[in-house]
Amino acid sequence: MNSIQFHKAKITNLIQETPNVKRFVLTFPFEISFKAGQFVMLKFEGLNHQFDTRSYSIAGQINASSIELCVVYKEDGAATPLLFNNKIGDELLSSSPEGRFVLPEEPINKNLFFICTGTGVAPFRCMIKELLLERNHKLPVRLFFGCRKREDLLYQSEFEQLQMDYPNFSYLPVLSRESWDGLTGYVHPHYQKVLETTADALFYLCGWTEMIKETRDNIKNLGYTRQDIKVEFYD
């Protein structure tokens, strides 16, 4: 932990994406490269908590020296109320990108399932764009994205556009607390239904522990192994 280097990064844009989620654009004084799926650690000096760092997945690259984070406000949290107090022009302390929750470098000959809730969609935004826009991946890519209400959907128009542009990409938002003409309830029955008729899959799961553990158990019960299931826990 002590060996991690922190760099000053300026907040150069802030977007209120949903009522409780903000997108933070961080600009470093140097070019920054990362692999889709990686995260940075932000250091909160003087934080009234055992740990003064918090990790945030990289949700996008804005330009050579700027990345985007997508953070949900936690009312009783130690760090997010401080983070949300920042304005454009303020500086944060950020590590370089790190983490091994990334896509395999070789071509992927499997059906891809990205399953998340809330801001767990952040690393998937980078991974899915890399697959579709850069790697020319042609096999099915499905994003099951659980949230409570329509107002909580993140990057909605962007994912809808990707679905229109790339026929192998399915954007499958699932709302748990609002009825609409899309999928409802929890994500589990929805990916399970697809898996009844789909073999040879690779899974990426991201978000809060409870959802990930349940999903992982369900997938393992279908005969998939650890190698087939990549996870990133947010808590």
Ligand X SMILES: Cc1cc2nc3c(=O)[nH]c(=O)nc-3n(C[C@H](O)[C@H](O)[C@H](O)COP(=O)(O)OP(=O)(O)OC[C@H]3O[C@@H](n4cnc5c(N)ncnc54)[C@H](O)[C@@H]3O)c2cc1C
Binding positions for ligand X, rule: CB under 6 A = 39, 49, 51, 53-57, 70-72, 74, 77-80, 119, 122, 232, 234-235
Q: What sign does the dihedral 211-212-217-219 (CA atoms) show?
A: positive
Q: Is 124 or 191 the residue whose CB approaches ligand X more closely?
A: 124
Q: Is 113 or 234 the residue whose CB approaches ligand X more closely?
A: 234
- Residues 8, 95 contacting (CB under 8 angstroms): no
Task: Compute the least distance from the CB of residue 77 to ligand X, in Å.
Answer: 2
Q: What sign does the dihedral 198-126-38-59 (CA atoms) show?
A: negative
Task: Compute the least distance from the CB of residue 20 to ligand X, in Å.
Answer: 10
Task: Compute the least distance from the CB of residue 18 to ligand X, in Å.
Answer: 12
Task: Compute the least distance from the CB of residue 222 to ligand X, in Å.
Answer: 26
Task: Compute the least distance from the CB of residue 47 to ligand X, in Å.
Answer: 8
- List the one residue out of 30, 26, 37 whose CA is nearest residue 59: 37
Q: Is 84 or 224 the residue whose CB approaches ligand X more closely?
A: 84
- List the one residue out of 39, 45, 35, 37 whose CA is nearest residue 26: 39
Query: Exposed, middle or buried: residue 140 (CB in 10 Å: 0-12, 13-18, 19+)?
Result: middle
Q: Is 73 or 166 the residue whose CB approaches ligand X more closely?
A: 73
Q: Is 101 or 169 the residue whose CB approaches ligand X more closely?
A: 101
Task: Compute the least distance from the CB of residue 160 to ligand X, in Å.
Answer: 21
Q: Is 39 or 203 the residue whose CB approaches ligand X more closely?
A: 39
Q: Which residue is nearest to ligand X (CB)?
A: 77
Strand ranges, E, within the chain: 7-18, 21-27, 39-43, 53-63, 66-72, 91-94, 111-117, 141-147, 169-175, 183-184, 201-207, 229-233
